[in-house]
Amino acid sequence: MDEVQLNNQITMPRLGFGVYKVPNEDVQEAVSTALKNGYRALDTAQFYQNEAGVGEAIKQANIPREELFITTKVWNSHHGYDRTMEAFEESLEKLQLDYVDLYLIHWPVPEQDKFVETYRALEDLYKSGKVKAIGVSNFHIHHLERLQKETDITPVVNQVECHPYLQQQELKDYCKRNEIFLESWSPLFRGGAVLQEQTIQDIAQKHQKTAAQVILRWHVQENSLIIPKSVTPSRIKENINIFDFKLSSAEMDTIQKLDQNIRVGKDPDEMNVTSL
């Protein structure tokens, strides 16, 4: 598995397994399938309400803990120092773990104006050793700039919506300059429209790969981290099988031209405590 070195010198698999909207009763089987197919990074969250199932799958897999990279996130309802600490302990208990590899703020929720205070809790968790790395999710540049001014530790990751229809180039450039890895959620877009693009289909045919594999490979060559989600065993296996081919610069340029600034999720500036 391809790995990257984060700005605090720990390593993280470039490709992980996402479990957003996978019900707790189904997530154990999906995660078990992923682990059997070579995934070693798992991405969950307080909000997903499936940390317990993820934890059970980890326990049953019997893989050495140091070989796994587990990410979870604090939800909008638990911003603020004390609430974040409470949320983290709850997540740790559900996951049945002694530590988490990466802990993220799920959304900045600017109307609350507590993300700096929340991030200070993450910094203390990191200093305590209960978290190996800390970062954020769905942060715009101006949110990151504020963190850089008002906190001590640069996030290792900013996990955001990113796919060929929303390529986030300005944010990617900012993250690169500041040694923050951009991690793509919804890397294949939703609904399959990107997969049906003729240019993607043509590239896939040339490489004898699927459209999904081409798009995931594009992310990798953009130097992004990715967490594709699936509950279908064949797709779980397919999504990790992207390290045996390479897109040409011309093919990368072709995909770059698909950018339309289309979001499937909320704009981070508009996310509040109750909205999704």
Residue 2 · residue 40 · CB < 8 Å: no
Decide: pTM greater than 0.95: yes
10-residue stretch averages of pLDDT, the chain, 276 residues long:
94 98 95 98 98 98 97 97 98 98 98 97 98 98 98 98 98 98 96 93 98 98 97 96 98 98 94 73
* Tokens 């089987």, residue located: 29
What is the per-residue pLDDT for 273? 77
Can you give the residue ranges of every domain in the chain?
3-256
**The pLDDT value given to residue 191:** 79
Topology annotation, domain 3-256: TIM Barrel (3.20.20)
172 in Cβ contact with 224 (< 8 Å) = yes
User: What pLDDT score does 275 carry?
Assistant: 64
Q: What pLDDT does 192 receive?
A: 82
Give one DSSP letter per residue of 82-109, joined into a string: HHHHHHHHHHHHHHT-S-EEEEEES---
Active site residues: 48
**pLDDT of 272:** 83
The answer to whether 31 and 44 are in contact (CB under 8 A) is no
